[in-house]
Amino acid sequence: MLPDKKIIAFDVDGTLTASKTLITDSMAALIKKLIKERVVVAIAGGSFEQMKTQFLPPFVNDSSMLPYIKNFTLLPTSGSQRYEYDEKTKEWLLTDKEPLSEEVKARAISLLEEVILNPEYEIPPNPYGKIIEDRDTQITFTPNGQQAPVDVKLRFDPDRRKRQKIKEMLEPHLSEVTILINGTSSIDILPKGFNKAVGMNRFLKKAGLEKSDVIFVGDGLFPGGNDYSIYEDGFETIAVKSPTETEALIAGWIG
């Protein structure tokens, strides 16, 4: 049976999809059924462009979903941006964002470049794509590179100790930001005080709803994880360890 909530919110990487990989047909089919019944919010550490590539194709390419796409909201970069589908233009439009200053971004990037060169932090050579990514409202640091295979990302820092060490080095030099450890592979640098709970609350305020109207599903609900703020802020949450667990959860809801 579906939860008695107006909104079902999900983390993306590690919850709805494997890291940086296209949503599976089976998961997409379940989400399609879900958005016919509830408002669905996808909130991710990744950029909108990443979500557009990774998550949206099964929905925007299916004309039968057009009457329901209004029930779908995207909150990339931990909710520091909000995208909603505009039925007139048939495009996803940026409707809100919390900026990160250019000076702070430049300083964060400079510090992360020092991390890459310092053997103390064990950053692997020959990364798969960008290690440092400017996502406008967020800087993301992925030691193996954004396009690294999932198993490579997981092997680098399974207990999060290496990223915690990097986080502790950065924090004294970046008092204007919040630094979060992504559940799978990355570190996210956001405007001070910003996290997924803030992103969700901004969305709820616009919608005229309360956190009691939401249930959130994520794989980063551990202390220090980039979903943990949702739990700390009093949202009802369900912790999962993989997209397989999420599929089983949704399938149980919708029968």
Q: 102-117 and 161-170 helices cross at what angle (nearest 10)?
A: 130
| Stated pTM of the model | 0.77
Helices (H), 41-189: 48-54, 57-60, 102-117, 150-156, 161-170
Q: 102-191: what CATH class? A: alpha beta
pLDDT by position in tens, the chain (length 255): 899 999 999 999 899 998 778 899 999 999 999 999 999 999 998 889 888 888 888 888 888 888 898 899 999 988 999 999 888 888 899 999 888 899 999 999 999 999 999 999 999 999 999 999 998 889 999 999 988 998 898 889 998 899 999 999 999 999 999 998 876 789 999 998 888 999 999 999 988 999 999 999 999 898 878 899 999 999 999 999 999 999 999 999 997
Instruction: For residue 169, give the nearest of 225, 131, 120, 222 by alpha carbon.
Output: 120
Residues of the chain with CATH 3.30.1240.20: 102-191
Q: What is the pLDDT of residues 37-96, one digit of tens each?
A: 999 999 998 889 888 888 888 888 888 888 898 899 999 988 999 999 888 888 899 999
Q: Which residue has the tokens 């990160």?
A: 100
Percentage of residues in the chain with pLDDT exceeding 90? 66
| Strand partners of residue 141 | 132, 187
Write out the DSSP string of 112-125.
Answer: HHHHHH-GGG-PPS
Q: CATH 3.40.50.1000: which residues of the chain?
A: 7-98+194-254
- Give me the CATH topology for the region 7-98+194-254: Rossmann fold (3.40.50)
